Amino acid sequence: MSTSPHLTESFTNPENYTFPHNRLSTILHNPNKTPIVLVACGSFSPVTYLHLRMFEMAKDYVRQNTDFEIIGGYLSPVSDMYKKPGLLSARHRVNMCTLAAEDSDTWLMVDPWEAFQSYQRTAIVLDHFDHEINTVLGGVQTASGEKRKVRIMLLAGSDLIGTMSEPGVWTQPVNGIVQLEHILGRYGCLIVERAGTGMDQATDSLARWRSNIHLISQLIQNDVSSTKVRLFLRRGLSVRYLLPNSVVDYIEQNGLYQDETTSILSTNSNPDKGKEREAAAGASKKEAH
């Protein structure tokens, strides 16, 4: 792993922010393994079982195919300033992710750092995790007391990684540094196959970082998406068993996704996720400068 500096000298924290690390393992059980933390960035509007499944698939993949040991996993909901269609307020998205994480395994956490401030590029978000886990917390310890640096890795669906190959915001430098080099060269990622986006198609032009890109195949096809869940809710259809029960209850109790006025922008069901993301990230970037 490269030791290039972070893309920013200092990180802006939201008011009253503390980095959640209650479920982060403090011990590296196998000293021969490289400790890693998985970070999934996205809208999570709302979080679905497929988002949680990504972490489970990654856990199996890591155990069977790598020399890594996972010491924690984070959902990092994007800022309201991302302004993607269908994006509910950060407060609700963070609350739903928190319920989902509590409901699930014991190693998942939600970091609200990104959600409660201006739009942050993904490279900066990974730097923030690196800073909190390695600089502030001092990494992880082996059973013999030796301190080890934790490697941060992006966990994403193949549709998201597919957009990295397209010319656009991902390829625009952050503070003069090419951010794909930073994300894929310094950190690396685990990519979960997503119905509708081929793995080859997603990674063809990212070949130079091949050794840092881990491809995880879907053995059970499931194309649940937040867009479809929102559509169901607007039509008054049940979404139970597509999301954790606690999240379904939260949506019902708060009357979320009933109509277009509950989202940051009006909702739509545009299937062209790549273009939607590029537009959202591009707009947020322009506003940030």
Ligand X SMILES: O=C(O)c1ccc[n+]([C@@H]2O[C@H](COP(=O)([O-])O)[C@@H](O)[C@H]2O)c1
Ligand Y SMILES: Nc1ncnc2c1ncn2[C@@H]1O[C@H](COP(=O)(O)OP(=O)(O)OP(=O)(O)O)[C@@H](O)[C@H]1O
| Site of interaction with ligand X (CB under 6 A) | 41-43, 78, 82, 84, 121-122, 160, 169-170, 277, 281
CA-to-CA distance for 92 and 3, rounded, in angstroms? Answer: 36
Smallest distance, ligand X to C-beta of residue 56, A: 19
CA-to-CA distance for 32 and 244, rounded, in angstroms? Answer: 36
Residue (43 or 120) nearer to ligand Y, CB: 43
Q: Dihedral, CA atoms, 242, 247, 253, 256, nearest 10 degrees?
A: -70
Smallest distance, ligand Y to C-beta of residue 117, A: 18
Q: Which residue is nearest to ligand X (CB)?
A: 43
Residue (44 or 250) nearer to ligand X, CB: 44
Q: Which does 194 bind (CB under 5 to 8 A by kind): ligand X, ligand Y, none?
A: ligand Y
Q: Give yes or no for a contact between 49 and 7, defined as CB atoms under 8 angstroms apart.
A: no
Q: What angle do CA 136, 62, 1 make, to 5 degrees?
A: 50
Q: Which does 281 bind (CB under 5 to 8 A by kind): ligand X, ligand Y, none?
A: ligand X
Residue (185 or 274) nearer to ligand Y, CB: 274
Q: Which does 50 bind (CB under 5 to 8 A by kind): ligand X, ligand Y, none?
A: ligand Y
By CB neighbour count within 10 A (0-12 exposed, 13-18 middle, 19+ buried), where does 160 fall? buried
Q: Which does 40 bind (CB under 5 to 8 A by kind): ligand X, ligand Y, none?
A: ligand Y
Of 56, 47, 49, which is closest to residue 75 (Cα–Cα)? 47
Q: Which does 68 bind (CB under 5 to 8 A by kind): ligand Y, ligand X, none?
A: none
Smallest distance, ligand Y to C-beta of residue 199, A: 11
Smallest distance, ligand X to C-beta of residue 275, A: 11
Smallest distance, ligand Y to C-beta of residue 13, A: 23
Of 92, 113, 107, which is closest to residue 14 (Cα–Cα)? 113
Q: Which does 170 bind (CB under 5 to 8 A by kind): ligand X, ligand Y, none?
A: ligand X
Positive or negative, the CA dihedral 80, 100, 57, 63 is: positive
Residue (25 or 120) nearer to ligand X, CB: 120
Q: Give yes or no for a contact between 121 and 41, defined as CB atoms under 8 angstroms apart.
A: no
Residue (95 or 227) nearer to ligand Y, CB: 227
β-sheet bridge partners, residue 42:
77
Q: Give yes or no for a contact between 132 and 152, defined as CB atoms under 8 angstroms apart.
A: no
Tokens 């970082």 -> residue = 209
Smallest distance, ligand Y to C-beta of residue 136, A: 26
Q: Which does 51 bind (CB under 5 to 8 A by kind): ligand Y, ligand X, none?
A: ligand Y
Is 147 in a helix, a strand, or coil? strand
* Sheet with 27-28: strands ordered across: 27-28, 140-142, 147-148
Residue (25 or 212) nearer to ligand X, CB: 212
Binding-site ranges for ligand Y (CB under 6 A): 40, 42-45, 50-51, 54, 86, 156-157, 159-160, 192, 194, 222-227, 273
